[in-house]
Amino acid sequence: MIQSAAVEFSVSEFVAVFNQTLEYAYGGVVIYGELANFRVSKDKWVYFDLKDEGANINFFGTVYNLPGPLENGMMLKVRGLPRLHPRWGFSVTVTSISPAGTGTIKRLSDLLKIQLENEGLFAIERKRALNYPPKRIGLITSVQSAAYADFTRIINNRWSGLEIQTINVSVQGDQAVDEIIDAIKTFSTVSEPPEVVVIIRGGGSPEDLAAFNNEILVRAVAASRVPTLVAIGHEVDISLAELAADKRASTPSNAAELLVPDKNTELLRLANIPIQLRANLMHRIKAQRASLNQTKELIISIITHKLTRERLRVSEQSRLIAALSPKDILKRGYAIVYENGHVSDGRELKTGSIVSIELFRAAFEASVIKQLKGTGNGQE
């Protein structure tokens, strides 16, 4: 048996040629298996194995590759570059990680949800209000999807004059996370950003919707400079991206309904405004008339009360004046004596003084003939 000649390499040469061969043959690979020996070093580097019944492969990456919190035993699908390291041997350098299998997807989503809730990423107080209706909309979706067709049809039927700028992205698979994040950043950095960023995708399996539970994508939604509206899957599907958004819609069709009113309903409402205004005006006029009548009655009552009180006071004053009137006194048989035009109290009267005397029905002059004892100035 003739043996072929073996190619000789130095160690470094073999590593270089081997890696070139791998790069040529496998520019990138996707490997799925069970997670084992997962660990994070210095809060940056990630080391783990994927295994099945017959083999075990080492992986190396960074925390930025993680889709969320991982646990040993999860089933993962990892995209990476196979490499032979000069010192550490063979491993796969990770470029992306995604969960594989319904159980792992749910477990990963549950762990990430707890983590992000504790950080306050889903808190109500951090959510922003959306302009209603917006004039400029940034739409992130697959333009080949039924979700895109439903959204655009419903929103254009409901409202007019909208400027919708769409970025076409993958909504599932390995590229979906990066493409959606890039689209969010694009809308956040343009000179005239839209008033709302809408991210939509139709229904599918948990694997199909897994991108919207990816930690990096969820954080990108929360960090968007522009307020966000996210609608993923059917009404029963709730992704973490929806929880991080400023507003969630149950379906892509519902997203369109939440963004704008129905123009037919608005036209009917506008037509009813004059009728409502007229009815409101008549109601206010009637209420004002009733108020004026009440005020009028109150004023009349107050004036009547005051007049009655004043009449009573005047009557009492009249009786008092009448009681104090000299005429009334003269009527009872008294007289008024005047000396030199002034009422005299008798002190200055002397025998021979001339006085005027006023009675009730007569007046005359008299001369003092004699002063009686105990009157006048006390002289005899």
Q: Supply the Cα-derived Rg of the chain in whole angstroms.
A: 53
pLDDT in tens, the chain (380 residues): 566 677 888 999 899 998 898 888 887 899 999 999 999 999 999 999 999 889 999 999 999 999 989 999 999 999 999 999 988 899 999 999 989 888 888 888 999 999 999 999 999 999 999 999 999 999 999 999 999 999 999 999 999 889 999 999 999 987 899 999 999 999 999 999 999 999 999 988 888 898 999 999 999 999 999 999 999 988 788 899 999 999 999 999 999 999 999 988 888 888 888 888 888 989 999 999 999 999 999 999 999 999 999 999 998 888 888 777 777 777 777 888 888 878 877 777 788 788 888 887 888 888 888 777 655 454 44
What is the predicted pLDDT for the residue at 378?
Answer: 44
What is the predicted pLDDT for the residue at 220?
Answer: 96
Give the other-Cβ count within 10 Å of 337's Cβ.
17
Give the model confidence (pLDDT) of 341-373 as tens digits. Answer: 788 777 777 887 888 888 878 888 888 887 776
Contact status, residue 95 vs residue 65, Cβ threshold 8 Å: yes
What is the predicted pLDDT for the residue at 147?
Answer: 95
What is the predicted pLDDT for the residue at 305?
Answer: 92
Which CATH code for domain 11-100?
Answer: 2.40.50.140
What is the predicted pLDDT for the residue at 340?
Answer: 82
What is the predicted pLDDT for the residue at 328?
Answer: 75
What is the predicted pLDDT for the residue at 122?
Answer: 95
Measuring CA to CA, how many Å separate 360 from each of 57, 109, 147, 296, 318?
143, 120, 117, 51, 20
Residue 326 in tokens: 């000299």
For 317, list phi and psi in degrees, rounded to 5: -65, -40
Taking the chain, what is the end-to-end CA distance rounded to the nearest angstrom? 192
Scan for tokens 């021979």, then name that residue: 352
**Can you give the pTM of this predicted structure?**
0.64
Pairing of strands 196-201, 228-232: parallel
Torsion, Cα 99 101 102 106, to 10 degrees, reads -30
Contact status, residue 203 vs residue 150, Cβ threshold 8 Å: no
User: Any bridge partners for residue 56, and if so which?
Assistant: 51
- The domain limits of the chain are 11-100, 134-260, 263-324, 328-367
Superfamily in which the 134-260 domain is placed by CATH: Succinyl-CoA synthetase domains (3.40.50.261)
